[in-house]
A and B are shown apart, each in its own frame.
Chain A
C-alpha cells in the first residue's frame, strides 16, 4: 500500500520550520544593516541640517561717498581698495550706543563676521549706485553668534569657558527683541570657497575641484579602460603575456588608493613636474585608480554578450572589428558606462591619493580650470573635521550631506543610463 498521505508529516514540518528560520535570519540581517544606514543618515542630517541656515544681523548701512569713494570716480579699483569697516562700526554705534569704550566697541564689532567687509565691498562693486544711499543690509554674524542662535551654546556654563560673554549674549537678546537678527538660508555655503571663519566657509571651491578632477579622471579612464577591455576580451589571443596583464590588472584593483597617490607624487609631480595640488594631477591619479575597476567591469560585461551574436556577425562576413564595434560594444556599452560611473563615484569619495599630491592645502580661491590649485569635497570634509572651531562641526556634516547627494545622483545616473540605453535593445 503506497503512502498517499498529503497532510504534513513531522519530517516535512521540520523542513518548513528550517525554511522559515532561514528566511528570518535573512530578514534580521537586512534589518541590522538597514538600521546602521538609517542611524548614519539621521546622525549626519541631524548635525548638518543647521549649516544650511546662517544667522544674519540687520544693520542700517550708510554707504557714504566720503568713506568709500571720496573723489567720486566710481573706479572699480578705488572701490575694491576702500575700507568698509567704518561703515559697519558706525552703524553698530547707532544700534549699541552704550558701547562707548574701545573694548566694548571691539566686542560689538566681533558679533559681525570679519568677512562682512568683503560682503559689503562686493555689494558696492556689483552695484556702485549704492554709494551715497543708505539701506538695511543683512550681514553674516560670526560663528559664535550663529551657534548661540541655534541653541548650540549653553549660556549656563561658566563665562570664562565661553567665547561668548554675558554682555555679548545680552546684546544678541537686544538684537532679537528689535528683530535685527535672523536665520536665513546659507547661500555662502554654496558660493564660497574655504575660509578660516566657519561662517564664511563654503564648499564651492571643493566641489569644483572634485568636478574638474572627475572630468579629467573620466576623460582618461573611460576611453583607456574601454579600449583595453575590448582589446583584451575580443582581440588578444590567450598567451602568457595576456595572463600576466590580467593578473596585474586584478592586483591593481586591490592596491590601496594611497599607493596611487604616491605614484602620482613621484611620477606626475616629481618627474613630469605637472602643477602641484591641481585637479589635473588629481584626476590623473584618480584615473589610475579607477582604470582597473573599469577594465574589470567592462570585460565581464563584454564576456556576457552571447557568443551567438558574434557568430551571427562573423558568419555574415563581418570582420572582427565590425563584429566588435557594430554588435558587441553597443550591447555592452550601457553596462560599461554603469561600471565607469560607479568607478567614478568611488573616485569622488577618494581622499588618500589626493592628500599625497597636495590637494589638501587651505585654498580660498575657487578653481576656474584644471590647472588651478584646488581641494576636493572629501578632502574639504577631512580639513573641516580637523578644524578646532566649533562652527565647522555642522559644516563638516553639511559637506558630507552634499557629497552623499552627489554620490546618490551619480548612482541614479548610472541606473538611468542603463535603463535608457538598454531600451534600444
Chain B
C-alpha cells in the first residue's frame, strides 16, 4: 500500500511546479537575525516538514508564508516569497486574501470560545463563501468530516469548542482551516500536545488531506517527519542546512550536522 503511494508521488513530482517559493529570505526580530538567507521550494499536494533544534527559526519561517509575522511589531522580513507566481510581500497583496489561501494550524489548539459549529463557520462567514444558511451548514459539515471529527461531534455542534478533548480541538482547528478552502495549510507542531493515538489520527488525516492541499508542517518528531512528509528541510541557527526528499534525508543525509541531528546527537 505504502509503495503504491510512493510511486504515485514520484511520477507526479517530475511535472509538478512548486506552489510556493522562498528566495533569500532573511527575518530579523529587531537586530536579532532569526532566518538567514533561506531559499526553499514547497511542492504542491505534498507534505513538507521543517525540522531542526529548538529556536532555529522553524516557526518564524513558517509564519512568513502567511505573513503572520506582520503581527509582531519588531519582526522584519526581507527576500522574496512567491505564492503561485505572486510576491506575497508586495504592497498590492491583501493579507486577508493571502491568509484565506494559506491557512494555519497552531501548536496549541486554539478554538474560539464559541460553539463547534461557529468555530468552523467563522471563516466561510467572513469570506462570504456561502450564500445561504444551508450552504454554510454544508461547508461546516464537510469540513468537519474531512477533519475526521464529524462522527464524534455530530450530535453536539452547539457545544463549546473548548469542551472537546485536546486532540479533538486540534482537529476542530484543522476543520476550521479547511472550511475556508485554502490551497496550503501551515501547521506548527500540531501534535506536540497530543498523545500518540490522537497524533496517529491527525497524521492519518494529513495523509488523506494531501490530495487536496499542500501541507507545510513544523515538527520536533523526526519519526513523524519520516512517516508523513515527502520533503524535509533541516534548519539550524536560522539557516537551511539540508533540503530534499524525506527518504533520502533520513537514510543518507549529505551534511554532517543533519546526520548528527537525525541520530539524536544535537537537538
Contacts and interface: CB of A to CB of B under 8 A. Distances in A.
B93 to A, nearest CB: 13
B160 A316 contact: no
Chain A interface size band reads 20 to 34
Interface residues of B, number: 29
A245 interface: no
B113 A311 contact: no
A183 interface: no
A316 B68 contact: no
A317 B180 contact: yes
A319 B108 contact: no
Nearest to B111: A312
B68 A314 contact: yes
A266 interface: no
B58 interface: no
A240 interface: no
Contacts of A179: none
Interface string B82-114: 000000000000011111100110101011111
B66 A315 contact: yes
A255 B89 CA distance: 46
Given A317-B97, A317-B127, A309 B68 contact: no
A315 B99 CA distance: 6
Name A's interface SS. Answer: helix
Interface in A274-333: 306, 308-319, 322, 326-327, 331
A322 B123 CA distance: 11
A313 B112 contact: yes
A303 to B, nearest CB: 15
Contacts of A310: 71
A311 B112 CA distance: 11
Contacts, number: 65
Contacts of A318: 96, 122, 126
Nearest to B163: A425
A347 B98 CA distance: 48
- Of A311, A312, A316, A322, the most chain B CB neighbours within 10 A belong to A316
A208 B162 CA distance: 45
A237 interface: yes
Contact of B96 (A306, A308, A319): A319
A311 B97 contact: no
B110 A316 contact: no
B256 interface: no
B113 A331 contact: yes
B73 interface: yes
B176 interface: yes
Contacts of B73: 237-238
Contacts of B122: 313, 316, 318, 326
16 contacts: A309-B110, A310-B71, A312-B106, A312-B110, A312-B176, A314-B99, A315-B68, A315-B99, A315-B104, A315-B177, A316-B180, A317-B96, A317-B99, A317-B100, A317-B180, A425-B114
